[in-house]
Amino acid sequence: MKSNLTDTAKTSGKTYIIWAHPRADSLTAQVVDALKKQAASQKMDVAELDLYRTGFDPSLGTEDEPDWQNPNKIYSEEVRTLFAELADVDNIIVVFPLWWYSMPAILKGYFDRVWNYGLAYGRGQRIPARSIRWISLVGGAQDKFETQSKDAYMNDLLTSMALYGGIEDSKVEYLYNTIGVEEDIQNPGEHHKQLIEQAKKVVVSLAQ
């Protein structure tokens, strides 16, 4: 299994987009499409890993279970192939809806299996990218999310994951009230357009 590559003249580094949503017409998918178009307009190389459409299996079996006594363990072909796709990546963007104050299980399984011991960390190994951006689509309102310190929790989780893989430049962008039930959203379509424009700025910032 391999991601889909879109080649353009490389000026701002290669960007690898990892995303997860069961519906190909979801707002998450629309955000990813906008990110790819924005990156292309900036003449950035783009690689996309759509975990659902590629049929990724998030279950970690014995073949990919870390062996703490053997940092040279050979993992499954799927894991080795997907990790190899990070070899010449400058920026990683992870896009996902927030479910139960966390990422979808299929995305968590990607990190469990692919960002593995002896590949992404341990024995001097690390993720080769210089930066990572997390774009999380939050169904509820920003005020409630921040009042309950859910943003602080997610920031700590995602930044810690990045640091464990050796990426110090890690930032989280939240797209709030995607469902529109906690605030008075008169025009959901216009609101979603604004969220997409917000997400595109993440790509713009990578070229600065």
pLDDT value, residue 7: 42
For the beta sheet containing 131-137, the strands, ordered from the edge strand earlier in sequence to the opposite edge, are 4-6, 45-50, 14-19, 91-97, 131-137, 169-175
Q: What angle do CA 43, 158, 152 make, to 5 degrees?
A: 120
Number of structural domains, the chain?
1
In this predicted structure, what is the pLDDT of residue 119?
Answer: 96
Across the chain, which has 208 residues, the per-10-residue mean pLDDT values are: 48 87 98 97 95 98 95 95 96 98 98 97 94 97 95 97 97 94 80 96 91
pTM: 0.92
Write down the pLDDT at residue 123.
Answer: 86
pLDDT at 181: 73
Q: What is the CATH number of the domain that holds 87?
A: 3.40.50.360
The pLDDT, as a whole number, for residue 13 is: 82
The residue segments making up the domain with residue 109 are 4-206
Q: Residue 1: what pLDDT?
A: 59
- Residue 3 is predicted with a pLDDT of 59
